[in-house]
Structure 1
């Protein structure tokens, strides 16, 4: 169905948003960690790639 998102893409989106919350909470509580932010950006790029390549 056009405009629908399959389950794996939804799961990656939820994981990306959850990761942002966790990394932000860690940064507020314990200070910034560049590797955590790098990992989150990488996860976000993978999610965007999944969205861009999903079948319509």
Structure 2
């Protein structure tokens, strides 16, 4: 795993924590969760490509 892939994975985890906190405090927002899913899938694709 390269440094940029690790950074992307860390950003994805931090984004999950922030979206969860936002949803707990202010209520759910579908666009935030959709954006996080897109980020997560992009990270998963990057991780898959870097290990090939």
Gaps of 5+ in 2: none
The structure richer in helix per residue is: 2
> Which of 9, 16, 27 is matched with 1:13 structurally?
9
Provide the TM-score with structure 1 as the length reference.
0.88
Which runs of structure 2 are paired with 1:23-42 in the superposition (5 Å)?
23-42=19-38
Residue 43 of structure 1 corresponds to which residue in structure 2? Answer: 39
CA RMSD after TM alignment = 1.0
For this pair of structures, how many residues does the alignment match?
Answer: 52
Structure 1 residue ranges (4+ consecutive) displaced by more than 2 angstroms after TM superposition? none
Q: Which has the larger radius of gyration?
A: 1
2-structure distance, mates of 1:11, 1:46: 13
